[in-house]
Structure 1
Amino acid sequence: MSIERNLRRAGRVAQAGLSLVELMVGVLIGMIGIVVIFQMLATSEERKRTATAGSDVQVTGAIALTSLERDVREGGYGFSSAAYDTGITPVMGCTVNAYDSARPTAAFTYRLTPVQIVQGAGAASDTIIVLRGSGNHFPASYVFTESTDTSKKTRGRAGISPRDYLLVGRSNPTLQCMTVEITDVSNADALTIAHDQGSYNYTIYLPDGSTSPGTRIARHNNAAPPVTFTSGFLFNLGTDPRRNIWTVNAGKLQVTNDLMYQDTDGDGTNDPVEVADNVVSLQAQYGHDANNNGRVEAGEWTTTDPVTDAQWANVLAVRVGILMRSGQFERSAVTTTVPSWTGGQFVITNLDDSASGTTPTDPADNWRNYRYRVYETVIPLRNILWGAQIRP
């Protein structure tokens, strides 16, 4: 009996709790496990943010390129034959005298070209200007043989309606262009069209096939036109022509319609429409068919504006490149060289606008700590290619 009791006592002593050293080892192992888990979680989250930011850039880049490409493809619609119309010279490339009573300065001018590229200075992005009409009818030009400051007599006015925005051009005796807004086509001769000042009536065509009367102020007719015509050509740009100005401002790709001034915020400037963000640079080149063989060859891409109307007629395509930046800051330098496109290397700066060769104090301003994606394409000017087939 005493022996059994002693064995039980010995067993109880052997089953005593963990020592302090064992507890500390267990805590250390647990802490190491927690550190590893959180490190894996942080790495996973960082990669997730990088992938998400890359996906955002891919979507916005595709939207930016597609929107710009669709607009440029329409360049020249409504006046594509201006490069080929007979006379002494075509009217493509002329300075257009325009008017918009809604602008701070109503009278303004622009160049008659389907696309114009304004080269940015230094690291600045280029500006791409696209001019196109919106008419629903065959875009051949009209010939007018008589003219006053408020009317034109054509050889036939079919397809011209009130509210249409017409480009008036002549090449003889001097190259002159002007825009007018049509206010009336009811003259009994079936040839004369009017572009008076003040209000006028027009017909609204509803989706169900019915019509409704409308009234409008002729905001595009100058009471004192700077150009006087006796004869020439008319190009119908429809009721909603656009001279879209594509720019990059504060990392955003924006477009503004220069022909329809609108200042809803009262800042004294034409309101832009934001198309995409995280845009670093927009670059463009003309595809100029210098040897007139009907195609743009490797050495015929240039940033120089054409000078003559014949040179403008030989601009058959535009090449554009868009540089996009991810919004995700990376702790290490993930981009070591300045991105390039077919037209050359982009010129970029740090996020604090310092030169790319410098290292900012704040790593978040260093351009190298961000990922980039380049989008580029060649856009044919199809309306110019077709223009030779629709001469008056």
Structure 2
Amino acid sequence: MRGMTLIELMVALLISTIVTLAVFAILVSFEGRRRTLSSSTELDRVGALAMFQIDRWVRSAGSGFAGSDAYAYAYGCALYAAKSDKQLLPAPAALVAPFAGVDPAFRLAPALILPGRTTPGVSGQASDVLVLMSGGAGGGDVATRFSAPAVAGQLSLTSSVAFNADDLVLLADQQPAAAGGVAPCLLTQAATGFSGGAASAMPLGGSWYASTVGAVSVEAYSDSAVALNLGNVDQRKQPEFQLLGVGDHDTLFSYDLLQAADEPLQARAQGVFELHALYGVDTDGDGMFDKWVSPTDSAWSVAALSAGTSAAAEQLKRIKALRVGLFLRSPLPERAVVSPSTLKLFADVQGGALTFPRELSADERRYRYRVIETTIPLRNNLL
């Protein structure tokens, strides 16, 4: 007599079920909004971090050699370097992933775009690689001329005032290579005991010194050669010759070609789906870029810019800016499709003539994406 009737119990259960479903619906909606906000915030953070690093490296590209008088003949030279008797450039074997598809021979240039050289495991489609080179000396980028041919372990310079102990020195020749084009360059090191100053003789030694690297030796540089200060073995002053590209797990990687650190491969930002880039070039000789071109254009391809000829060197000098675009992707999928079927980069460049579309599969559309682009001047190439 004091209990509940069956009807009352059923009504109570019905009301509690409705309330429970309403609460769950609110929680699901809240969780969806929270994940959306979290994904958006994370993509914004990843994009800001990635672009900050890329912007810094590109703006510094060419430091130490672009503003010197060696600008006229060192651009496009084949690079040779060794460290602790291990040949670094040209790399004697394939580079580590994700840069295994990159040609291990490199030429001196502030910035190059290698189209489609990595295939990130998540994306499954080709992504570009940037080759960025800059010195760390912080000086006036003045090339010092030889006063006599080099000998093993020593350079004879008109003055060694621009150099100190343990400086990293790039040797370049004003005369063209025997077969025509730009002569090769050799990275070496001033000896630890060298005191610098007005003395003309600069002894060589240390980890980055080798009398011969591949087919190039120190003794091959005649009195027509020059020496450029690219920095020092001190970590705060080391040059940065590196690759930048996207690898597996949506990660932006850098690879130090000079292997200054114990681990040359470094993860820089996670959440980067693909990287693509364009050249901003000077077509009328006024020193400013006035046209965007694709790195797949035959005149601006890797093969054309790395030909080692005087014409190729002139092309390198005409590159005044890079347009870098990134596709970013959230780490977790959503329950339903949340992204469009096509992502686009460079849609506003030259009336859309250089638009890069990326088609997304049904599964890929369940992730959230960000598309970010930036134009970065090569300030050292603009001088």
Asked if structure 1 preserves the Cα contact closer than 8 Å seen for 2:81 and 2:87, the reply is no
Structure 2: distance between partners of 1:334 and 1:290:
42
TM-score (norm 1): 0.77
Structure 1: distance between partners of 2:377 and 2:203:
36
User: In the alignment, residue 355 of structure 2 is paired with which amino acid?
Assistant: G
Matched, 1:235 2:228: yes
Of 11, 18, 25, the match for 1:25? 11
In the other structure, the counterpart of 2:245 is 247
Question: How far is the alpha carbon of 1:163 from its aligned partner?
Answer: 1.0
Structure 2: distance between partners of 1:50 and 1:189:
64
Q: Are the structure 2 counterparts of residues 27 and 189 from structure 1 closer, same or farther at C-alpha, using a change threshold of 3 Å? A: closer
Structure 2: distance between partners of 1:295 and 1:106:
32
Between structure 1 and structure 2, the one with the greater Rg is 1
Q: Are the structure 2 counterparts of residues 282 and 326 from structure 1 closer, same or farther at C-alpha, using a change threshold of 3 Å? A: same
Matched, 1:289 2:282: yes
Of 323, 327, 345, the match for 1:323? 327
In the other structure, the counterpart of 1:159 is 162
Structure 1: distance between partners of 2:134 and 2:50:
19
Secondary structure of 1:139's match? coil
Question: What are the equivalent positions in structure 2 for 1:254-273 lying under 5 Å apart?
Answer: 254-260=253-259, 262=261, 271-273=264-266
Structure 1: distance between partners of 2:372 and 2:159:
46
Question: What are the equivalent positions in structure 2 for 1:107-256 lying under 5 Å apart?
Answer: 108=91, 109-120=105-116, 123-146=125-148, 147-174=150-177, 175-176=182-183, 177-183=185-191, 184-186=193-195, 190-196=199-205, 218-225=206-213, 226-227=216-217, 228-230=220-222, 231-239=224-232, 240-250=238-248, 251-256=250-255
Question: How far is the alpha carbon of 1:379 from its aligned partner?
Answer: 0.8
In the other structure, the counterpart of 1:11 is none
Question: How far is the alpha carbon of 1:300 from its aligned partner?
Answer: 3.3
- 1:27-67, Cα deviation, whole Å (9 max, x unpaired): 20121111111111111112112211211111011101111
Secondary structure of 2:172's match? strand
In the other structure, the counterpart of 2:344 is 340
Moved over 3 A (4+): 15-19, 102-109, 184-189
Q: What is the number of residues matched between the two proteins? A: 327
Question: How high is the sequence identity, in percent, across the aligned residues?
Answer: 26
Structure 1: distance between partners of 2:366 and 2:268:
25
User: In the alignment, residue 266 of structure 2 is paired with which amino acid?
Assistant: V
Structure 2: distance between partners of 1:119 and 1:275:
20
Matched, 1:70 2:56: yes
Q: Are the structure 2 counterparts of residues 103 and 253 from structure 1 closer, same or farther at C-alpha, using a change threshold of 3 Å? A: farther
Secondary structure of 2:57's match? helix
Structure 2: distance between partners of 1:258 and 1:376:
26
In the other structure, the counterpart of 1:59 is 45
Question: How far is the alpha carbon of 1:149 from its aligned partner?
Answer: 3.0
Q: Are the structure 2 counterparts of residues 261 and 102 from structure 1 closer, same or farther at C-alpha, using a change threshold of 3 Å? A: farther
Q: Are the structure 2 counterparts of residues 346 and 252 from structure 1 closer, same or farther at C-alpha, using a change threshold of 3 Å? A: farther
Secondary structure of 1:309's match? helix
**Please, what is the CA RMSD of the aligned residues?**
2.4
Structure 2: distance between partners of 1:271 and 1:223:
24
User: In the alignment, residue 92 of structure 1 is paired with which amino acid?
Assistant: Y
Asked if structure 2 preserves the Cα contact closer than 8 Å seen for 1:125 and 1:282, the reply is yes
Question: How far is the alpha carbon of 1:103 from its aligned partner?
Answer: 4.1
Structure 1: distance between partners of 2:356 and 2:138:
42
TM-score (norm 2): 0.78
Instruction: Return 5+ residue gaps in structure 2 as ranges.
Output: 92-104, 120-124, 233-237, 306-311, 347-353
